[in-house]
Amino acid sequence: MDDVDLKFQLKTELSDSQTEQFWMEFIEQAIEAQGLVVGGGGVHHIEVTLGPGANQQITPEHLAAIREWMSNRFEIIDFEIIDFEIIDFEIIDFEVGA
Q: What are the pLDDT digits (tens) for 13-72?
A: 999 999 999 999 999 999 999 999 999 988 889 999 999 998 889 998 999 999 999 999
Return phi, psi of residue 69, to 5°.
-60, -50
**Residue 38 exposure: Cα atoms within 13 Å on the Cβ side:** 22
CA dihedral over 70, 72, 77, 82, signed as positive or negative: positive
Q: Are 11 and 75 in contact (CB under 8 A)?
A: yes
Would you state the pLDDT for residue 43? 86
3-class DSSP assignment, residue 9: strand
Q: Any idea what the CATH number is for the domain that residue 38 is in?
A: 3.30.70
Print the domain residue range for 79.
4-95
pLDDT at 9 over 80: yes
- Give 84 or 87, the one with higher predicted confidence: 84
Q: Are 56 and 22 in contact (CB under 8 A)?
A: no
- Name the DSSP letter for residue 98: -
Say how many domains are in the chain.
1
pTM over 0.75: yes
- Give 82 or 97, the one with higher predicted confidence: 82
Amino acid at 79: F
pLDDT at 95 over 80: no
Q: How far is the C-alpha of 16 from the C-alpha of 5, rounded, in Å?
A: 25
